[in-house]
Structure 1
Amino acid sequence: MKLKVIIARPGEKAAVEEIAPGYGSLEQIVGGELEFSTPIMNDVVVVCDRQGKEKGKMPNRFYFGDMSIPFIRDGQEVDVFAGTIVIIGHRKGKEMLDSLTESEVDLFMDIYGEPQFITDWRGLEGADYRNDRSHYV
């Protein structure tokens, strides 16, 4: 059984993909230790590399919520996911992760479908971008 998810890589359009269930496949996709957040709704989680910012991974998508390193966009304090993210279902009362429904795919493709940062980092992968905001769109 495969799970329907959305995968968003830095600088690329997000894609609906099917992945093998389990934390191992998620760790492989995000490239590190898993961190789960629920920025929009409780039945869906965004999975990222817990240490993505510390590793200097490229900024990917905005996170509008309570996270550790805030940024300002349009006068609003926000944070970013660094590195590849996976959007996946997480239903109340279930221990396992789940496929996204069609309405969840539509909603999250509207939110995270398009890249939100420029892609030309001129080899800066691994650099500390947190104090250099010149790369934001």
Structure 2
Amino acid sequence: MNKEKQIRVLLVRPGQYPEERMVDNTLPALQKLVGGDIETVSPWPDRVCIVCDDEGKLKGKPFNRTLGDYDVLAGDFFICGIRDDDFCSLTDTQISRYEKLYHDPQIFLPTSFGLYTDTCTPQEYAQFNGIAQPSRDISSIEER
């Protein structure tokens, strides 16, 4: 079977909702998408994998989402399909399934009992992490 030149993936960034993307199916393009050398994780029985930065935690990238109850993914990652030994596009069903699974951003708070996580909106994530939000330009709004 031929390798797809572009693949349909689900990109998940810290503090944001997942987004569907078409990306070049080349090592440099995939490394650029996650910001480093890629690592794959296949935690589910279907033919998909998570592709993330191999050194995301070591580089101090922000925690993104939990991986089950045993790990935390740091930095940007994407989910794609697997066919033979190559990455391939996700199906509509897979996009829907993993968008629901990772829809809500997560906040992470270290406690004496371990890492506390909770879901939030992108706005709540930004507020919790002290990230400035774009200001609304109100100069064009007429006084009433």
TM-score by length of 2: 0.70
The one of 72, 76, 91 aligned to 1:84: 76
The one of 9, 12, 17 aligned to 2:13: 9
Cα shift readout 1:29-53 (whole Å, capped 9, x = no counterpart): 1001111001223410001101100
State the distance in 2 between where 1:23 and 1:113 align: 26
Runs (4 or more) in structure 1 with deviation over 6 Å come to none
Contact 1:46–1:85 (CA under 8 A) maintained in structure 2: yes
Bigger shift: 108-117 or 52-61?
108-117
CA apart distance, 1:2: 2.0
CA apart distance, 1:25: 1.0
Contact 1:26–1:86 (CA under 8 A) maintained in structure 2: no
Gaps of 5+ in 1: 65-76, 124-137
Contact 1:2–1:18 (CA under 8 A) maintained in structure 2: yes
The one-letter code matched in structure 2 to 1:55 is K
Structure 2 partner of 1:97 = 87
Structure 2 partner of 1:134 = none
For the pair 1:111 / 2:115, whether they are aligned, the reply is no
State the distance in 1 between where 2:27 and 2:97 align: 24
Where relative contact order (Cα < 8 A, 6+ residues apart) is larger, the structure is: 1
Relative to its length, the structure with more strand (as a share) is 2
Rg (Cα) greater in structure: 2
The one of 49, 53, 58 aligned to 1:54: 58
For the pair 1:43 / 2:51, whether they are aligned, the reply is no
Contact 1:52–1:83 (CA under 8 A) maintained in structure 2: yes
The one of 15, 25, 28 aligned to 1:24: 28
State the distance in 2 between where 1:113 and 1:26 align: 22
Gaps of 5+ in 2: 108-124, 132-144
RMSD over equivalenced CA pairs, Å:
1.5
